[in-house]
A and B are shown apart, each in its own frame.
Chain A
Amino acid sequence: MINILLVCSAGMSTSMLVKKMQEAAEKRDLEAKVWAVGDSESHEESKKADIILLGPQVKYLESKMKDRVNNEKPVSVIDMRVYGTMNGEKALDNALEAHKNFNK
């Protein structure tokens, strides 16, 4: 089971992407838990995640987030176009890629 946490400013716009990513995971029979929170809850929630994705609006939190998880987990920013088109498949691909490359 891979736990993918999405962070944005209020957790609202990312929740649509969560749904799309969850659908994409189901389609490929991948066991994944995808959920979204706002920055205020992100510290607590990041403890349960294997990978953290940031919405483009909170890109500026990238280094702060990496520090928060002591660089033990991959933190990456969702591509603007992937986010803008709510492309669940691509977002999931990017998440899995980041996770794979991190553990190398």
Chain B
Amino acid sequence: MEEMELIFFEIISTVGTARSAFIDAIGLAKKGDFEGAEAKVKEGNEHFLTGHKSHAKLIQKEASDEKIEFSLLLVHAEDQMMSAEAFKILSEEFIDVYKRIEEGS
């Protein structure tokens, strides 16, 4: 399989897994399992970092004037990355909110 496609799939699989972990974290916080939620966030962060490193390869290529060709798959990879990051931020906030609700009850 083409080198570029492999990098895109590397990104999609890792940040996608991260995204899922952050979403799971929110679900766990909702059930009151804050320890589980925080563990999921940690897991998500690790996968996100791996994906980020793969993404850095693309940035390096563009920086050395090796143009990255447009493809729907590339857009999907970028999209998944931003989505993962958004859920990362939200998961932390949601954990706090659910904790606050639990404390108040």
Q: CB within 8 Å of B: which residues of A?
A: 9-10, 12-13, 16, 55-60, 80-81, 83-86
Contacts and interface: CB of A to CB of B under 8 A. Distances in A.
Contacts of B19: 57
Interface residues of B, number: 21
A38 B85 CA distance: 21
B29 interface: no
Nearest to B13: A84
Interface of B: 1, 5-6, 9-10, 12-14, 16-17, 19-21, 23-24, 27, 47, 72-73, 76, 80
Contact of B13 (A9, A10, A56, A60): A56
Given A59-B24, A60-B20, A12 B76 contact: yes
B20 A59 contact: yes
Contact of A12 (B10, B13, B21, B73): B73
A85 B17 CA distance: 14
Contacts of B21: 59
A81 B17 CA distance: 10
Given A58-B20, A59-B20, A60-B20, A80 B76 contact: no
Given A57-B80, A60-B27, A85-B6, A13 B20 contact: no
B9 A56 contact: no
A56 B76 contact: no
B83 to A, nearest CB: 8
Given A12-B76, A56-B13, A86 B20 contact: no
